[in-house]
Structure 1
Amino acid sequence: MAKATDAWSHLGLVFCLAFLLPLGPARVAAGLYNLSLTTDAPATMGTEVTISASLVVKDNSSLPLPVDTHLYRFHWIHTPLTLTAKTEKNLTSTIRVVGSAPGDFAVSVWVTAVDCWMCKPLARSSLVVPIKESLVGNLVITQNTSVTWPNAYITKRSLRLAFLLHDPSDFFKSATFFYRWDFGDGTLSITDNPVVYYNYSSAGTFTAKVRVVAEWEQIKPDAGKGILQRTGDFSASLRLREMLQGMQVLGPTLMQTFQKLTMTMNFFGSPPLHVCWGLKPECLPLEDRECHPVLVTQTSFNLTHIFQDPGDYCFTFRAENAISKTHQYHRVQVWPSSFQPFVFAFPCATLITVLLVFTMYMTVRNATNQKDESPEATGLKCCCQVCCGSLFLDSPSEYLEIVRENHGLLPPLYKPVKTYNV
């Protein structure tokens, strides 16, 4: 009897081990996997939404995926969304659900072993499915021009505005669509085509809008045929820029050293502009290290410069905006500063002072010959005429008059004989 009891005990232990053997990996691997979820939501009411869950290994884990996929099961909670289809293949489960009311609905999923409801899940995850009453889609604006700034386009060139409906289940394949376009500059248009072309004539920031209306016929069990309608409003912001077609440089081409040069640059394009300028002996393109960058927020810019050395110079300007770039050159010839008469005023005044002092000294020394014109005085007048004549004489007649006054009468050829009375 004891042997029979021991046999049944061993047999029960074998069955338990056989039952728990396939569940071992699930217990060991619990927490080492993730569920990757994907969906094509958001969607309009009545359209099908597809949600897929795939079992993947967590990051930094070397554990391989289970080989026998039949040992695991996916469990979904999607209420109040209505389930329309479910498939499982290669550790991936996909469901299709439909929403009958607008809102954000949570969907959860987890994976367990097939025959172990009490075991800890290998992985679990969740997401939110948006169901909208309106249409779902995007307004896409394109132009056959490469622009570096986001949402930036070129004026006076055709823009393509297209509405892309999001309908992965082809729910609206039998619907009729109408589109009301508002281009943001006062222009409106109504079409039955989801694509339109438009040219903006001026630069600026605009908001393009489109109202989409979808209508289709549906047979209702209790009311017969009826017309159903869905609408949606969509918009996109765009910035229109003018191409930088060129620039004009206004300024003198002939200067003197130490004079202030002022130049005005007029740009034929939309700001903001990145302007780079440099000064070189020849008109050659600038390298980056020779560039003086300036940010210009208007269509004109003033630049001042002072030349300290004479010579031939060339200003090089390079400007670019979000669409295009241009460059321009401006030659300037710099001459030395001209000599002015006042440069000699101080030396002449000093020389005159010295000669006057010398003349007074000689006059006092030769008091007996006061009527005779001293050579020093003559030299003084001559020097004054040479050094300062150009400063004080207005006409040749004045000069001749001074010369005439400075030359005294010629002395007599003979001296009178003295007579004595007895």
Structure 2
Amino acid sequence: MGIGYVWIMDWLFNMKVSSRPMVVHLIYCLFLLYPVAGDYITVYNDGPTTIDTPITFKVFNTYSTIAPRFEYRFKFPDFPDKDTSIISTADNVRHSVTFRSPNVSTNKQLYLVEVDVWYRFMWTPVYSIGTVVSTFQLSDSLLGTINYEQAIPKESIARNFVSTESQVNMTAKIHDPSDFFASANITYKWIINGSPEEEYFDQTILSNFTKPQPNNITVIVFASLNTSSNEVLMQKNGSFDIVLTSRDPIHNLTADGHTNVELFRDESLQLTMKIDGGSPPFWYCWQILDIPDNDTLLIPYCTSTNESFFIITRYFDAKGKKNLITKVSNDVSSFTKNMTILIYEIEHRAQLSFILIPVCSIILAVLIIIAGIAIHMRQRKELSIEVADFDFQSYDEMIERTFFERIRDNFTQSLKFSIFRSCSGQTIEYDDFVDKNDSDEVAPNEPNISECNLRFSGDLNDSGVSTDIRT
């Protein structure tokens, strides 16, 4: 193209001036046909493919031209007999090839294909737009996968997790994009965790995985069919494997038995969330929204744990109504819980017990003090009217008594004194019984004493006078 371009420019320089416009227009068209930067070619295939079955190559060409006509040249370095060229005006083409067993090495799986795309003008390849090299895979055995379905999140299925609480529907799928085995006789043999499932020989199997564990599933596939050319029986077999990890789903999420939370302003929320069921690890997120605007008060907090509980802590410095949204999930399930948080203004209201107990204690103490003072004054008054009593301590007083026993005894004595006191209410003096003018040897006349008992500290003699007084 470079040599032709120099020749055209030299010819344009030496030609007549009147003929130059037509040539310039021709050169302009050639520049439109020349590939520009950014054009590219890509090649795809629908492999890996089983030997003796078709594999299809797809070529995409982004080169733009006002007069499209291309030549797609396929080259197979390992299979020269399969080289071919396809002429088309389309910017993409499909080419199917079948590689037979005798020509394919069983020790090799990856092979090369080279696609060279040419621009054709006037039914002649003018220049190469580009060349691309790609690989494809061939296998002597059947190729395929085990697909499964279950009522769990799609993200879990994509990561090969299953739930222990429902059946898993598994299907063996042969990789056959050309439907080559559509009319073949195919049988299946399932093996789960090393144990053959003898009763299942279908393409689909239902199974329960009741324990949280990795589960190894294998299916052996046999296919046999007659080729359409010479009615030769073809037999292929292969095994597909998958590991499905079973997990217990989450049943519930509780918050210390609460459905709503009530707090006072300037209090901190400490809420223990308990996860019911489920296999760890767990992922949980929580956030608090302002009601009714649903404005986010806090960026969602998310983390993981292997425990079946977690604690939510949050400080509130203003009253209001909030919405707490908590979501917990594991590999096969998720659970969301909404709670209302009510924050009230602080009210200082003491409980009745904190008032009643101190008041009753104070009243009882005052009553005890008053009773003690009254008893003390009563004793002092009694001491002022009693005659000399040299018996300072009786036997009963020597007995150890409690404080309340002493109060009881003193109260009893005071009551007796009030009942059996002198009828005249006057104090009896010894001088009233003896005439001061009489001699000491003359015994005084026996006084006229009332029959009322007089309380003296000493014993009375036959005359009713205390022996202590006579002495």
How does the TM-score come out when normalised to structure 1?
A: 0.58
Could you tell me how far 1:129 is from its partner in structure 2? 0.7
Q: Residue 214 of structure 2 corresponds to which residue in structure 1?
A: 206
8 Å Cα contact 2:267/2:315 also seen in 1: yes
CA-to-partner distance for each residue in 1:247-286, whole Å, 9 max, x for gaps? 26259x9999999998754322325142538799x9x999
Going from structure 1 to structure 2, the CA distance change for 1:160 and 1:259 (only over 3 Å counts) comes to same
Q: Distance in 1 between the 2:315 and 2:171 partners?
A: 55
Q: Distance in 2 between the 1:39 and 1:269 partners?
A: 46
AA at the equivalent of 1:122: I
Q: Distance in 2 between the 1:317 and 1:257 partners?
A: 20
Q: Distance in 1 between the 2:43 and 2:136 partners?
A: 11
The SS at the match of 1:201 is coil
Q: Distance in 2 between the 1:279 and 1:111 partners?
A: 61
Going from structure 1 to structure 2, the CA distance change for 1:292 and 1:37 (only over 3 Å counts) comes to closer
Residue 327 (structure 1) aligned with residue 337 (structure 2):
yes
Q: Residue 54 of structure 2 corresponds to which residue in structure 1?
A: 48
CA-to-partner distance for each residue in 1:119-147, whole Å, 9 max, x for gaps? 65111111101112232222222224445
8 Å Cα contact 2:75/2:84 also seen in 1: no
Q: Distance in 2 between the 1:406 and 1:308 partners?
A: 61
Q: Distance in 2 between the 1:415 and 1:279 partners?
A: 91
Of structures 1 and 2, the one with the larger relative CO (CA 8 A, separation 6+) is 1
Which residue, out of 130, 136, 142, partners 2:137?
130
Going from structure 1 to structure 2, the CA distance change for 1:78 and 1:303 (only over 3 Å counts) comes to closer
Residue 234 (structure 1) aligned with residue 244 (structure 2):
no
Going from structure 1 to structure 2, the CA distance change for 1:327 and 1:55 (only over 3 Å counts) comes to closer
Q: Residue 76 of structure 1 corresponds to which residue in structure 2?
A: 74
Q: Residue 98 of structure 2 corresponds to which residue in structure 1?
A: 98
Q: Residue 115 of structure 2 corresponds to which residue in structure 1?
A: 109
Going from structure 1 to structure 2, the CA distance change for 1:170 and 1:85 (only over 3 Å counts) comes to farther
The SS at the match of 2:252 is coil
Larger Cα-atom Rg: 2
Structure ranking higher in strand proportion: 1
Once structures 1 and 2 are overlaid, which stretch shifts more, 260-269 or 122-131? 260-269
Q: Percent identity of the aligned residues?
A: 13
AA at the equivalent of 1:131: L
Going from structure 1 to structure 2, the CA distance change for 1:387 and 1:153 (only over 3 Å counts) comes to same
Q: Distance in 1 between the 2:283 and 2:204 partners?
A: 33
Could you tell me how far 1:77 is from its partner in structure 2? 1.0
Give the superposed CA RMSD.
Answer: 5.7
8 Å Cα contact 2:114/2:132 also seen in 1: yes
Could you tell me how far 1:214 is from its partner in structure 2? 1.8
Q: Residue 194 of structure 1 corresponds to which residue in structure 2?
A: 203
Residue 318 (structure 1) aligned with residue 294 (structure 2):
no
Q: Distance in 1 between the 2:263 and 2:374 partners?
A: 41
Q: Distance in 1 between the 2:341 and 2:38 partners?
A: 74
Going from structure 1 to structure 2, the CA distance change for 1:193 and 1:294 (only over 3 Å counts) comes to same
The SS at the match of 1:172 is coil
Q: Residue 349 of structure 1 corresponds to which residue in structure 2?
A: none
User: Which consecutive unaligned segments of at least 5 residues does structure 1 have?
Assistant: 1-9, 58-63, 345-384
Going from structure 1 to structure 2, the CA distance change for 1:339 and 1:36 (only over 3 Å counts) comes to same
8 Å Cα contact 1:264/1:301 also seen in 2: yes
Q: Residue 389 of structure 1 corresponds to which residue in structure 2?
A: 365
Q: Distance in 1 between the 2:371 and 2:169 partners?
A: 89
Q: Distance in 1 between the 2:294 and 2:215 partners?
A: 39
Could you tell me how far 1:40 is from its partner in structure 2? 1.1
Q: Residue 140 of structure 1 corresponds to which residue in structure 2?
A: 147
How many residues align structurally? 341
8 Å Cα contact 2:263/2:341 also seen in 1: no
8 Å Cα contact 1:140/1:236 also seen in 2: no
The SS at the match of 2:62 is strand
AA at the equivalent of 2:334: S
